[in-house]
Structure formats: C-alpha cells, structure tokens
Amino acid sequence: MSPSWTRIWAMSKKELRDYRRNRFVVVTMAVMPLVFTVAPMIQLFAIKVNAASSAFNARIGLALLYMLIIPAIVPSSLSAYSVVGEREQGTLEPVLITPIGSQEFLFGKALAAFLPTVAISYAVFGIFLAAARIFAQPVVASAIYSGSHIWVQLVFTPLLAGWSILVGIAISTRSADVRTAQQLSVLASLPPLVVVGLITFNVFHASVGITVALAVALLVIDRFGWRAVAAMFDRERLVTGGRS
C-alpha cells in the first residue's frame, strides 16, 4: 500500500493541535529556544576582539553551537512521547484500528515534531544573526557571517532534527514508559551534535567536502533509518503490552 498523505497529515495535524494545548510542550518549545538565544548572545557580547585567535574562534564556535542544540534537543522529548505516550494515555489502540500503516503513523508523528523544530531553530538563528549584525562588534559579526558558519547552521539544523526525531521515535516504540523514553532520547540525540560541534569549534577544518560528506551521511541515516524504525513498530506488542 502506498503511503497516503491524507492519513499522514491527519496524524500530523492532530499532533500539532495537541502540542498547542499541552502546557508542557508549549513551555519546552518556548523556554529552551529562549535559553539558547540568550546564552549565545552573552557569548557574542563577551568576546574580546583582541583575544588570541583560538580563543576568539572558540567563543564564536560556542555561540553557534548553542544554535544547533535547539534542533537536537527540542524534538527529542516530543518524539520520545510519540508512541509510548499514546500508549500510556490509551489513545494508541483506536489509532491502530484504523487503516493507517506503520510508516504513515510514524511519518505523521515525525513531521509534526520536525516542522515546528525547524521553524523555531531558523527563527532563533535569524534573531541571532540580526543581533550580531546590529549589536556585536564588527569584527565579531564579520567572523560569524564569514566562512561556513551559516551554511553549517542551515544544513545541519534539519538533519540534526531528523536524527533526533528518528532516534526519539525508535526509543518510544520500544520503551515501557514516557520518562525513560525522554531521558534516553535526549542522550541519543547528542552524538551527531558532537561532530558538528567539532566543526563549529574549528577542531578540524570544515572544508566543503567534509561538511557535505557529514551532511550526506546524516541524510542517509535519516532517510533509511525510518525503515528500521518502522520494522520496530510492532502493533501486537504495542497493543498487548509486550506479551508477543
């Protein structure tokens, strides 16, 4: 059966409506980006222009790394909740009784976490860039706007969000309770962030080739990881509570 966008969108739309009315989700989605907007701003204004080149780059790198924490962390709790949360609140079985396929269900959930995450991440980055241009010292602003920084942010934001959602949903399909799923998925969302952090800190130089290779690797994992996650989605186990 080919995937139905009607079913996928029905699931995503339900999720988005549910997020909007869930105080925990609204607070998570508002407070975390706020923290990760304020913290890099402080970094930005604390940078001493006359500092050593390595210290200068490290400060810039740290400020930009905060930006990439948003797409890695924000969707992890949403995606961790996606399956086990529905199971806990007793809404999973009615959904599984409909003709929706495993991939449609999971993709609908993923899309609902992906869209606001990417929108928030880009918005925060836009604010950061504007603040840098307007308020930071010209040398600092110039350092942020030059090189691969902006491209790294633009490319890796959706890829990191994709990874975080993928592992979050995978953990959610296998977890027995929401709390465990959320803790594990926050941890599991971090490894690619370390790699991107190394680039951002200029630990190794992010040539176009390396950046593209990393991006492609994440893209491949995000794309084909879904098959593995869909295979883990066992209706019988989810409905019977793991007796199958």
Residues that bind another protein (CB under 8 A): 1, 4, 6-7, 9-11, 13-14, 17-18, 21-22, 89-101, 235-236, 239-240, 243-244
Report the residue number, 43 or 77, with the smaller CB distance to another protein: 77
Q: Min. distance of Cβ 84 from another protein in angstroms?
A: 15
CA–CA separation, 234 vs 172, rounded Å?
Answer: 12
Report the residue number, 101 or 147, with the smaller CB distance to another protein: 101
Report the residue number, 113 or 143, with the smaller CB distance to another protein: 113
Q: Min. distance of Cβ 83 from another protein in angstroms?
A: 14
Do 11 and 100 meet the contact criterion of CB atoms below 8 Å apart? Answer: yes
* Backbone φ, ψ for residue 132 (5° rounding): -60, -45
Q: Min. distance of Cβ 156 from another protein in angstroms?
A: 33
Do 116 and 29 meet the contact criterion of CB atoms below 8 Å apart? Answer: yes
Report the residue number, 16 or 150, with the smaller CB distance to another protein: 16
Residue type present at position 175: S
Residue with tokens 């740290």: 62
DSSP code per residue over 144-185: HHSTTHHHHHHHHHHHHHHHHHHHHHHHHHH-SSHHHHHHHH
Q: Min. distance of Cβ 94 from another protein in angstroms?
A: 4
